[in-house]
Structure 1
Amino acid sequence: MRALIVDDNDIARTTLAHLAKQIPGLTIVKEYCNAIEAYHHLQTHQVDLIFLDIEMPEMTGIELTKNLSGKDTIIIFTSSKKEYALEAFELNIADYILKPVTPARFLQAVGKAQSILESRKENVQVTQNEFLFVRDSNITRRLKLDDIFYAEAMGDYVKFYTKEKMFAIHGTMKAAEERLPKNDFIRVHRSYIISLSKIDTLQDGGIMINGKFVPVADAYRKALNARMNVF
């Protein structure tokens, strides 16, 4: 796992970095003393995990987490205060560690993050470019790729829509995007992946698929137009 440490306390950053070195497979790629610098880093770099302090000047850890909504990054809060825990867990974080951070507690939190990362990889699988196997209500179901109209992110779930049914699985858009064939599917928004063959019309701000309006973000519009041969 690639991780960031974001904390305005030098000793806290040093402690976390030291603990991280003891865990195989965990790499600290960067340390930041404020959340704004970390936010800018995350606009152009992908990490799996952030060890994040809460009380920091200019931008708090909770504010940073809210600004990262829609990204796949796993958050572990590290704080000396208990009172933020309820609000923090409402943001679907992996864990909340009270300072001072002990080796045992750190290892436990990292274990939770690793489990989340592994479940994301396992929940969506593509076989022979014909079928998608999705774990729906603890049952693994076979879903034909040709039946999928689009996928939508909804919190910790990805919803796959077909003409007759919707399948909701626990996972991320990143995992879905990596496993759906790029020749047939394209991401058009941080919350949507669509099947190119199912597009009915392209209009200002989005597209129509099976009577449903799907927004297209400006960042993805050029790539979509190129794939659709629009000129």
Structure 2
Amino acid sequence: MRILIVDDERPARDKLRRMLAHETDITAIEEARDGVEALEKVGTFAPHAIFLDVQMPEVSGLEVAASLPHPAPLVVFATAFDEYAIPAFDANAIDYLLKPFDAARLQRAMQRLRERVASRAAQSENAPGALGLPLRQLLVNERGGTRVVPVADIQWLETADNYVVLHTAQGAPLLRQTLTDLLDSLGSQFVRCHRRAAVRLALVDKVDQQGQLVLRNGALVPLGRNFKTAILDALAHR
């Protein structure tokens, strides 16, 4: 297993790394100092599991868990605060370690991890791609902080160089990601309608005389000729 430790306190990261160093089936351990760095390392390191603190500056552990790409790594929360247990399990955590925890308690969490990793591997062999669930929110880095954008607020998507514009009623923040990769994480609720755009299918009201998609709020979304047949078919069966 590859493990990512996410905690804003260096001593906590060091202690957990020492405790995990004795596990013979852990092949690599990486660390992240905050939620933003954690999401970056999930993409580059591809951990099987994350040991995740809850209270961190700027982006909390719960927000990180809700923003993981799918299929998401397994999450074990490790925190000094017991009041987050219910929302942690609502975020699909497989365990909740209350600091300070001992080696025996960590072993129980590791056993759960091993069982879930084995189960995922078996499911993947029988039904490839069936494990992922759509993202619920996206984290957008902006000058001076990080914005949480609920996926439910996004009306349509548009590429802009190396970014994707997230068109919402509250604005249009820029997410540094490709449109193709983002659509893979959002599921079937968004449909590509142009080589540079995708739309939330449920919000489409009509196709106008200029061949554009008109959303229920009046917004106009480009519709490419090569995508028109698929879009019309999707609208007919939504």
Partner of 1:60: 60
Q: CA deviation at 1:71?
A: 3.3
Q: Which amino acid aligns with 1:34?
A: D
Q: Distance in 2 between matches of 1:5 and 1:124?
A: 25
Partner of 1:95: 95
Matched, 1:189 2:184: yes
| % identical aligned pairs | 29
Runs of at least 5 residues in structure 1 that lack an aligned partner in the other structure: 126-132, 135-144, 156-186, 193-201, 214-231
Whether the aligned pair in 1 keeps the contact of 2:17 and 2:29 (CA below 8 Å) is no
Residue correspondences, number: 152
Give deviations 1:123-175, integer Å, cap 9, x for gaps. Answer: 243xxxxxxx56xxxxxxxxxx9xxxx968447xxxxxxxxxxxxxxxxxxxx
Bigger proportion of residues as helix: 2
Matched, 1:203 2:227: yes
Give deviations 1:51-99, integer Å, cap 9, x for gaps. Answer: 1101111111111111115332000000111100000000111100000
Whether the aligned pair in 2 keeps the contact of 1:78 and 1:99 (CA below 8 Å) is yes
Partner of 2:112: 112
Whether the aligned pair in 1 keeps the contact of 2:71 and 2:132 (CA below 8 Å) is no
CA gap of 1:31–1:151, structure 2 versus 1, over 3 A, is closer
CA gap of 1:64–1:204, structure 2 versus 1, over 3 A, is farther
Whether the aligned pair in 2 keeps the contact of 1:17 and 1:28 (CA below 8 Å) is no
Q: CA deviation at 1:36?
A: 1.0
Structure 1 residues 1-231: aligned runs within 5 Å:
1-125=1-125, 133=126, 153-154=132-133, 189-190=184-185, 191=187, 203=227
Q: Which runs of 4+ in 1 moved over 6 A?
A: none
Runs of at least 5 residues in structure 2 that lack an aligned partner in the other structure: 135-180, 189-225
Q: Distance in 2 between matches of 1:205 and 1:66?
A: 34
Bigger proportion of residues as strand: 1
Q: Which amino acid aligns with 1:90?
A: D
